[in-house]
Amino acid sequence: MGFREKIMTREIVGNKYLDTFRTALLKRNVKSVSSVIDLIDIYMVYQKHKSDIPTSPLIVGGGSNLLFVGNYSGPVILNQIKGIQIEEDLDAWYLHVGSGESWHKLVSFTIQKGIFGMENLALIPGTVGAAPIQNIGAYGVEFKEFCDYVEVLDSDTLMLKRLCKDECQFGYRDSTFKQPQNKKLIITGVGFRISKEWKPVLSYGELSKLDPTRVTAQQIYELVIKTRKEKLPDPEHIGNAGSFFKNPIVTKEKLEFLSQKYPDMPFYPIDEKAGYDFVKLAAGWLIDKCELKGFELNGAKVHEKQALVLINANNATGKDIALLAKIVQSSVQDKFGVLLEPEVRFIGKLGEVNALKYLSKISYQND
């Protein structure tokens, strides 16, 4: 039995779309996996029939960081590997979590169990397995702070191994899993180490109004959910993938130059990996200053409240959204001389394509 036939034997029910932009309809060559054995089974068949299949399977979790720009025609593996195991010692909690668990459900589960620390990361869509890939972050906290190890299946050798935190090379929206040579690694589980010494992180936005001496993790969790619901469009109703672009990192000289013209321009310090000579600018602020909030093109739109979020307002295709992203990117480049790099991963006809290169090539003329 060929790979294509085998994957067609399972039905996926539920959501109509593969992605939260709601542009890629679920097709029949999607197979859901609920265990590592399932995954090995798929890759054994795939390796046997490799020459007949144009691309290796695309792993999809919640589809909340994907933009389909080229009618992807290859096989899709929908990750539903579940399970949470908990251990503890005097200093910390240790969790092993199946990579197909929902990230937000995991955060809620920890809070209910009295395991505090991840409350700032509530309501981020997607799966636990995708969290290490871009080292998800929000409200001054990043995934890497809780990472003990990441368990992966090497889809070439079909061997399971664990990468310790240092081996994952976490950075701002970055990790070793984004390197081309590591795209063959399928994340099957994540190990967490959550310290029992809880300290609230209240440095960002609404959270800074809370009293650090009295606040509880539950209150932070609730405020994060409330704020995110007010500020971000719900992908269940309006197609989007959260922040479309990363916050750009620039040199301190560039910051000084821009600050002379725009004294109210916000900027943030970044981690030591990028060096102390650099700072992070707020991509949303730059887009807003280009007066693009609410700008619409072929049903793709810059969100009216959050300029960093592009939405599928009215039957836009992935290409329409990419075209809008190009306009946003060019406007910011022209006004500030700063290049915005997509945070969202672009999927072309045969799999992932380099988003920056893709945007540099598209235009109204050839699309």
Residues that bind ligand FAD (CB under 6 A): 20, 58-66, 79, 99, 124-127, 129-131, 133-134, 136-138, 186-187, 232, 235, 240-242, 345, 352
Q: How far is the CB of 133 from ligand FAD (least distance, A)?
A: 5
Instruction: Tell me the C-alpha distance between 310 and 294, whole Å.
Output: 9
Q: 124 and 104 in contact (C-beta within 8 Å)? A: yes
- Residue (142 or 336) nearer to ligand FAD, CB: 142
- At 306, list the tokens: 């959050």
Residue with tokens 């034997």, as numbered in its chain = 9
- Residue (20 or 312) nearer to ligand FAD, CB: 20
Instruction: Tell me the C-alpha distance between 36 and 155, whole Å.
Output: 11
- Residue (102 or 219) nearer to ligand FAD, CB: 102
Q: How far is the CB of 337 from ligand FAD (least distance, A)?
A: 26
- Residue (176 or 240) nearer to ligand FAD, CB: 240
Q: b/e string for 268-294 if b means 16 or more Cβ within 10 A? A: eebeeeeeeeebbbbbbbbbebbebee
Which residues fall within 8 angstroms of residue 2, CB to CB, at 6 or more apart?
45, 49, 52
- Going across the sheet that includes 92-98, the strands are 84-88, 92-98, 185-195, 147-154, 160-164
Instruction: Tell me the C-alpha distance between 302 and 55, whole Å.
Output: 32
Q: Is 229 exposed, middle or buried (0-12, 13-18, 19+ CB in 10 A)?
A: exposed
**Residues annotated catalytic, as ranges:** 173, 243, 343
Which string of DSSP letters, residue by residue, matches 257-293?
HHHHH-TT--EEE--GGG-TTEEEE-HHHHHHHTT-T
- Residue (67 or 258) nearer to ligand FAD, CB: 67
Q: How far is the CB of 180 from ligand FAD (least distance, A)?
A: 12
Cβ neighbours around 359 below 10 Å, total: 22
Q: 56 and 74 in contact (C-beta within 8 Å)? A: yes
Q: How far is the CB of 79 from ligand FAD (least distance, A)?
A: 5
Residue with tokens 């890497």, as numbered in its chain = 144
Instruction: Tell me the C-alpha distance between 319 and 348, whole Å.
Output: 10
Instruction: Tell me the C-alpha distance between 207 and 138, whole Å.
Output: 11
